[in-house]
Structure 1
């Protein structure tokens, strides 16, 4: 599996029991970068974990790629990823084709992992993914509910204040602009960066009124 995050890239190999056998992460912003160099760096991480897996006698059979955005029904194209500023990008075409990469929204993959691997997971639930952006996935009767246009889980872009701050999606006052990681850090007087969430938690535990 692989992930394109706003502030990181990651790749891992998981065996049939769901155990992670190899992992690689690259920290650094991807916001505003062209898809091609991002895909090139992600491919390098994928090659690294595949080599580690093969050294353990494992032979990866497929590749799933998680992206923080709306994915077309073809399972290849990033229709829109506001926090990356990507539009109509055939991401699968930029990645190793020997694995037949399947691309989907990161919250959708998180929900499927919980559905298939979680203990005692109900057949109806809402999975919320909250990092820089806020995503969600809806599972009904054990199936992922995408909606007519694929927006069923876009919780972060639900307007909560019509005259609120502008959002990269083109709307105003989206939940993400109030409850996303960067918004929370900004409200506490902190800039985004590695370790900032931990600092925020420490300040909250110490009773900092700004937090």
Structure 2
């Protein structure tokens, strides 16, 4: 029996113009089911309605796949990007990026143990061998640096940069997913960090502002 959200996901992927691995749609729907199942016991996300989960979780994160792929190519890591997703929560966008880009090595970090445990379970059940989950404060991590660091509604830009600066590889970049960017937040970015692009996103079925704030260190 087909998944009740399969057709809507297919339409969303088509609207985004995305090319995904053959297994990706089924993995994305299985991931959605896992979130719903764990939400019955643990408060992973506030969104509970299946259609809203599809739009506000899966499609919202799928909207960043192509921009991140383009930037990964610009960094000469189109197929082997090391990416850190900070404050990943239920794995958004880290799990979605791992499904869409099987060659990328993706680490999700969150301070809530049950959320890191959930992401590990998702990786095991969906066979995402390149996906890791860490229960830790990002500023306490001890690991090789990452070429790209993402966050989704994690913190202000200045806090995001401050907390993750030691994790960013030379020449790497930050990609902050935001609903909107205020002038106050923009002006608070440190002087030695360049906000080189604010990329507007259109999420199928979502009538709301979305953007990626791209930043890199200048020294």
TM-score (ref. length: structure 1):
0.29
Larger Rg: 1
Q: Which has the higher contact order (CA 8 A, sep 6+)?
A: 2
What TM-score do you get using the length of structure 2 for normalisation? 0.28
